[in-house]
Chains A and B, each alone.
Chain A
């Protein structure tokens, strides 16, 4: 057992985690202003933006993957721009995977943050403005510290969801060793080539890690709520 674990090729896992970490970081930066805006606005376009952000939850990954593929290919303006200006090819590359994952996991970051912000006492935020603090300072010093469980949920679920993605990754990234072959794709290939024993090992590792992560989130939230008498 230990021998199997030691001799295992961990590259797909490392790639998965690298992808998930980068995606989570980028999405946090994008989602923070977006979810704040959605939580505070009563604009008529709010439902429109909300529906758009939630689309990746309901769309088949193949649909999402297909359009991302089209949008990022060298034949599209976006793909051509990246190719010409930065010399980066977006399809079948790690960079392309990061871009695709950001679309795919967006709702998992935005929704918990938005509902966290919405649950805050509006008067508390106003008290911060009255104290002379700007919106940005209010977000970082009052809003975020008061929605720690939602913040943690957003970060962890985005991370876990990106690790678990398969369809989009396969369509946009393919399966290039050390570049786009993440854990989920590797398992798919093992099953395809009927290497069931390795598929078991990889899958078990995924299950154990995912469970541990989720367990720690729920434990933290329970502990946190108890501490603040919620």
Chain B
């Protein structure tokens, strides 16, 4: 069990805010941390890693990492950290990056095999693609046999295909090592695939905390389906209006009458849903 109860004053994006987080996380769970930028997600991760100071206490698997009189050094926490921008050791080859953490050659070659990097083991980071770099970074984090794996938007700099692939590898490693993991993400499908719990932060506080299904499924009551998107444009067509909404990578058009139209403005976050008709799903 991981018990977190911390407080820190932050210079937020809008004004000063207090990061106040109190959480319990079960051993072996995979937690997704979400929320708008500047809500304190990265800071929470950095506090857990011992890279930033805060007030309060952190206890990980019966071990005190921080309390009122003691702060365990980053070096002794035995964690894995995957940065958004990889942060590989540029002067070392892929294999050396892994062995820098621990001399366990067997583990290193096993990790490289799982992530399909064996052929690249003698390359230096600058010659690798973004996806390859992030796989190295993931392997490096696992070399510590971490008690806690922290990932700060590990996939947000990668394209869709590479994301899917890394998601699978992250899941594979999680199943094999059972490492308690906290990862920051903005991508609902990513959270759905990987996490068993989602925590949403806003202005330094937890505003939602629950299972993936509770948090991510947006339909309420009798709604059959519903999607969130951004209103891009309202076009007048004779007596009706057409709202152009972007949902994920797709553009959708919804018909509005004049009265409805007045409620919306371009740029609003909107929800597209239907109640009366059961939606049908067909292969594309």
Which A residues lie at the B interface, using CB under 8 A?
A: 121, 123-124, 126-134, 141-142, 145-146, 228-229
Contact = CB atoms under 8 A, between A and B. Distances in A.
User: A127, A129, A133, A142 — which one has the most chain B CB atoms within 10 A of its CB?
Assistant: A127
B74 A129 contact: yes
Given A124-B90, A145-B91, A146-B91, A132 B85 contact: no
Interface stretch (B29-37, B75-83, B104-112, B185-193): B75-83
Contacts of B77: 130
- A contact patch SS: helix
Nearest to B127: A229
Contact of B81 (A130, A141, A146, A229): A130
B74 A130 contact: yes
Name the prevailing secondary structure of the B interface residues.
loop
Contacts of B85: 121, 123
Given A228-B126, A229-B126, A133 B75 contact: yes
Contact of B91 (A129, A133, A142): A142
A144 to B, nearest CB: 9
Contacts of A128: 89, 100
B88 A124 contact: yes
B83 A131 contact: no
27 contacts: A121-B85, A121-B87, A123-B87, A124-B89, A124-B90, A126-B51, A126-B81, A127-B87, A127-B89, A128-B89, A128-B100, A129-B74, A129-B75, A130-B79, A130-B80, A130-B144, A131-B100, A131-B102, A131-B140, A131-B144, A132-B76, A132-B144, A134-B75, A142-B89, A142-B91, A146-B90, A228-B90
B153 to A, nearest CB: 12
Contacts of A134: 75
B23 interface: no
Contacts of B90: 124, 146, 228
Interface string B111-155: 000000000000000100000000000001001100000000000
Given A126-B49, A126-B74, A130-B144, 6 more contacts: A121-B87, A123-B87, A130-B49, A131-B101, A132-B144, A142-B89
Contacts of A126: 49, 51, 74, 81, 83, 87
A49 B51 CA distance: 25
Contacts of B51: 126, 129
A127 B81 contact: yes
Interface string B58-96: 000000000000000011111111010101111100000
